[in-house]
Structure 1
């Protein structure tokens, strides 16, 4: 009789302490963004609040998988954890996209205002493409969970990563457009809409840092696309995936970064 397979160790889940620390760090952020959602009801804030909840639960599950032999042998629990980590990035990237759009809405003149740029700023296009990436990622995770060499599942996961990389690059480009637009705009007029808090005054710079953090995450994911072992290596995964996500979320919490609600930029994608 063959011995049970510890899927958690097979996927490189070893550090209980690291998972526990990240779960503890996400706990207050999850509460904060829920409070923010009550005060500032919008789809963008909802995605950020949901991201916090998903990451908090995912890190708890990861800690359990790494600490318990029996839990590590539970394939369904591993799949659930992998799916949560895949789905969660939707909220983080869409949060950056929505908030940059919100600040762009306060700019009087947009640079490079052509068909391509209007397509990038089309919320329906971005939302559907991002959702497609999430769906492909989930399908790939399910297919490769018990057989990492499954060619179809591997192709689906690669397609998902490619979509995320492209959208992250487009978001970084849109952030550069925001920096240029705000430099050209009248600062005093913008203050009337955004206020004078630190986040309101330095929002474009903060979004540049967020864009760089998201790019670090996606460059690592793309660089390790052909090797699940390297991608899940905790020595690299925590500093290059988990940490940039957490730092991005902390930047989203800077007072004034989320501008006053305006229906044209905060409504659900149409």
Structure 2
């Protein structure tokens, strides 16, 4: 077969070592969040656990695609890997949004408390919009994997990226709201509910760091929206997409950032 039949090479999947390293780093994170899910059975923790599992499998497949000529020529395996990377972002972004909403539920002095802010704090609406973005992205991937010039598939992928960018900006906006609200609120009251761990006491600033990392990822995806080759360039993709995601998961793993089940803020009175 010609090089054009090798989908991994055609779309820029070349580094076996980088994919292997990321798969190895996600392995302990998968174990940690699986244990955390047993202790704290919430939808947010479930999405973060699922994200780690998906990324571990996706990077493993990516390493196989990059390292094996026959695997690289397998279109179904390539599409599966692309879909896994697209689907996985749901857990990462919704995890950040859900945990910020949980902490905002504790705050009594919320800035920018207007109809737009309340609308963006609607979990169901955020969930449905994010799901729509994922669905459009998957459809676009399937349509363009065999034919990168497919106009409909390319358009769907672009719409998906735009949705993700908008939602990431909204999540960052709510994180800024959280930072301001926690600075105004009583520290002793927050300590009473969340504890004294690093994540509990400095959660707002940690979530702000996560929001910045997510914005870096999405700004890169938006900037390369018209060029699949640039978007898949591993010299850019790993530091601007894969690394920010991994750093976010290490931040999520900080003690106290995710409150234990018996302190679930969703059920706390205002």
TM-score of the two chains, using structure 1 as the length reference: 0.96
Aligned position for 1:16: 16
Which shows bigger deviation, 107-116 or 87-96?
Answer: 107-116
- Distance in 2 (alpha carbons) for counterparts of 1:139 and 1:248: 27
Query: Tell me, what secondary structure is at the counterpart of 1:257?
Result: coil
1:168 aligns with 168
Q: Say whether 1:265 aligns with 2:266.
A: yes
- Partner SS state of residue 31, structure 1: helix
Separation in 2, partners of 1:126, 1:90: 11
RMSD after superposition: 1.4
Kindly indicate whether the alpha-carbon contact (under 8 Å) linking 2:3 and 2:10 is maintained by their aligned counterparts in 1.
no
Is 1:198 aligned to residue 204 of structure 2?
no
Match of 2:33 in 1: 33
Q: Deviations over 1:62-112 (max 9, x none)?
A: 000000000000000000000000000000000000000011111112111
Write the mapping of 1:1-270 to structure 2, written as runs, cut at 5 A. 5-261=5-261, 265=266
C-alpha separation between the residues in 2 aligned to 1:2 and 1:226? Answer: 26
Q: CA deviation at 1:240?
A: 0.2
Distance 2:164 2:12 in 1: 23
User: What residue ranges of structure 2 are gaps of 5+ in the alignment?
Assistant: none
* Alignment TM-score, normalising by the size of structure 2: 0.96
Where does structure 1 differ by over 4 angstroms across 4 or more consecutive aligned residues?
A: 1-4
77-86 vs 1-10, greater mean Cα deviation: 1-10
Conservation of the 8 A alpha-carbon contact between 2:106 and 2:265 = no
Give the drift of 1:263.
Answer: 6.4
Q: Distance in 2 between matches of 1:249 and 1:89?
A: 12
Counterpart CA distance in 1 for 2:256 and 2:264 is: 18
With over 3 angstroms needed to count, the CA separation of the structure-2 counterparts of 1:173 and 1:4, relative to structure 1, is closer
- Check 1:54–1:3 CA distance in 2 against 1; reply closer, same or farther (3 A cut): closer
Could you tell me how far apart the structure 2 residues matched to 1:3 and 1:209 are? 41
Equivalent pair of 2:210/2:248 in contact (CA under 8 Å) = yes
Task: Determine helix, strand or coil for the equivalent of 1:112.
Answer: coil
CA shift at 1:4, angstroms? 7.0
Secondary structure at the aligned position of 2:225 is classed as coil
Question: Residues of 1 paired with 2:114 and 2:104: CA distance?
Answer: 15
Give 3-state SS (helix, strand or coil) of 1:152's partner: helix
* Unpaired segments ≥5 residues, structure 1: none
Please give the alpha-carbon distance, in whole angstroms, between the structure 1 residues aligned to 2:184 and 2:36. Answer: 31
Contact 1:193/1:260 (8 A) holds in 2:
no
Report the count of equivalent residues.
Answer: 266
CA distance in 2, matches of 1:199, 1:124: 26
C-alpha distance in 1 between matches for 2:181 and 2:155: 39
